[in-house]
Amino acid sequence: MNLEWRVLKIKEQDGFFNTALDNTILKEVSEGNSPPTILFTEWRPTVSLGRNQNYSLDVDEESCKKYGVDIVRRKSGGQAVFLDEGYFVFSTIAPKGTFSGDLSQLRKFFCDISIGTLNELGVPASFHEPDNIIIEKPYKRTLGNSGQIIRRDGLIAHGSVRYKLINLTMMLDVLKVNGYKLQTYEKEIKRVIADAYTYNPDIKKDHIKNVFLSKFSEMYGGTFSNGNLTADEKRNLKFFIEEERKKEWLIGEENYPPKGVCYFFLNGKNLVPSLQNILPYNKPSTIADSTIN
């Protein structure tokens, strides 16, 4: 499909800004006020919880305050992720119908773009159902993932890839799994986490972004032009930031289940053996978890 895509490259911002920016652009694209957009964001240290994930059991609020780490709740499903300057993060925001309506195909398509990008840069990444990017050999390690927000008139397909692991100690202190702190499991956890830098220390994030766009065009078509936020988007962004900061949205419901950390699970199964008794299985998110009104 030969769409014209606006490309936005945002300098480093906090988690509230970046999460609200996704929602702002989705609104404007869904209403036909903004063009289809590929958004690259840079993140200050942030814990991003899935839409229906338990706040008190899967994040340590006091540790987040100690490090100055933001806690946000995104509108897509899934498990907690930790984001900082060591991650390559993108969002593709388009009218509904631009991509396949099949969730499994949508997940794989955007994982495959990231995988093609990484492979071209010398990183031996591969796909693992339903939405994971992994290093397969000599044993499975997680490298990235994708997620979705689907509205009646628009959608976001977003994803992150670990560019360089730089804040493991902080990550393990601010995240929990079903109420359990993670420092005890650091050696096991480090073993199942991969980064692109290990395979190609010469990679720069700007290069990853450019190769990503090339792979997107190769797999899907389309043209790209660098753009800016519209006046309406800038105005609406302030509203969405305020919404993200509301305590009732952030805390969520008490009965939300613990889901743990995205990086430790593949297709709902633990990669870290010691976590098996803490959170033995976590069903991957469904189309219902990705859909908002």
SS3 per-residue string spanning the chain: CCCEEEEEECCCECHHHHHHHHHHHHHHHHCCCCCCEEEEECECCEEEECCCCCHHHHECHHHHHHHCCEEEECCCCCCEEEECCCEEEEEEEEECCCCCCCHHHHHHHHHHHHHHHHHHCCCCEEEECCCEEEECCCCCEEEEEEEEEECCCEEEEEEEEECCCCCHHHHHHHEEECCEECHHHHHHHHHCECCCCCCCCCCCHHHHHHHHHHHHHHHHCCEEEECCCCHHHHHHHHHHHHHHHCHHHHHCCCCCCCCCEHHHEECCEECCHHHCCCCCECCCCCHHHHECC
Q: How far is CA 106 from CA 126, 137, 159, 260, in A?
A: 16, 26, 12, 24
Choose between 2 and 223: higher pLDDT. Answer: 223
Give the pLDDT confidence of 65-94 residue by residue, as tens digits.
Answer: 999 999 999 999 999 999 999 999 999 999
pLDDT band at 1 (very low <50, low <70, confident <90, very high): low
Query: How far apart are the C-alpha atoms of 82 and 131, rounded to whole Å?
Result: 17
Query: How far apart are the C-alpha atoms of 200 and 123, rounded to whole Å?
Result: 7
Nearest to 267, CA basis, from 140, 178, 179: 140
Domain range enclosing 105: 4-290
> Is the omega angle on the peptide bond into residue 284 within 30 degrees of 0, that is, cis?
no
Share the mean pLDDT of the chain.
95
Give the pLDDT confidence of 111-165 residue by residue, as tens digits.
Answer: 999 999 999 999 999 999 999 999 999 999 999 999 999 998 999 999 999 999 9
* Percent of all residues in the chain with a pLDDT value above 90, rounded to a whole number: 91
* pLDDT exceeds 90 at position 2: no
Give the pLDDT confidence of 17-64 residue by residue, as tens digits.
Answer: 999 999 999 999 999 999 999 999 999 999 999 999 999 999 999 999
Q: What is the dihedral of CA 171, 173, 175, 178, to 10 degrees?
A: 150
Q: What CATH number corresponds to the domain at position 255? A: 3.30.930.10
Per the structure, the count of domains in the chain is 1
pLDDT band at 287 (very low <50, low <70, confident <90, very high): confident
* pLDDT exceeds 90 at position 291: no
* pLDDT exceeds 90 at position 183: yes
pTM equals 0.95
